[in-house]
Amino acid sequence: MTSSPLNRRAVLGGTAVSALALAQAAAPRAMAGQAAATDAPFEYEVTRTEAEWREFLSPPEYVVLRKGSTELPKSNPLWKNTAKGSYCCRGCELTLYDSEWKSDVDKGWAFFEQSRENTVLLGIDGEPPYDTYGLPQERRFPSMIEAHCRRCGSHLGHILTVGDAGTLHCINGTSLQFIPATV
């Protein structure tokens, strides 16, 4: 039996309905920092101008963290990191994930079972390019669930539902800094 390679957008194509339900359930938590019943934008604790972000981040980091791009699979060594420690947002150093929550998924991005409490916001991330993966019209979905840093708003990756593994955070290594445990 052979299997075809699977990438994060293809996985999302088959699981977007459950991810959308997850986002709807998590919406009150994601909006906790915004005043109720107002149209005021969410205010991040760490803010920079576009020029400051460009100076602070390398060009590849800027494209992923600030423009919502996705790194190529297996292009960042954190996808296969198994050391004990913490994963922080590259944009503001907020600790997002702990190594014990990292899942061994051989797809080329860092997968986590959960984030630390009150660190990740969920949002809707535009229409995925499903046509490029040959999904039939009835399996196409209008949007994906995007994970952002709660403190600076940087794009981290996406929330996926992956078979028996359940719901996982599929995170760009480019969005993270690894801090080894001191034992």
pLDDT digits (tens, 9 = 90+) for 99-146: 999 998 888 999 999 999 999 998 876 655 444 344 445 544 445 789
Q: Which two tokens stand for residue 51?
A: 């020029």
- For the record, the structure tokens of 87 come out as 């994963």
Q: Cα 104 to the chain's mean position, in Å?
A: 16
Asked if 144 contacts 158 with a C-beta cutoff of 8 angstroms, the reply is: yes
Of residues 98 and 3, more confidently modeled: 98
C-alpha distances in Å from residue 138, one per residue of 22, 66, 164: 21, 32, 23
- Spell out the domains of the chain, with CATH numbers in brackets: 8-32+45-180 (2.170.150.20)
Q: What is the mean pLDDT of residues 159-166?
A: 74
Q: Name the pTM for this structure.
A: 0.71
Least confident of 4-8, 138-142, 171-175: 4-8
Question: 92, 149, 152, 170: which is the annotated catalytic residue?
Answer: 170
Question: What would the mean pLDDT of 28-54 be, rounded to a whole number?
Answer: 71
Q: What is the mean pLDDT of residues 20-35?
A: 39
Active site residue 170: yes
pLDDT computed for residue 143 by the predictor: 56
The percent of residues in the chain predicted with pLDDT above 90, rounded, is 54
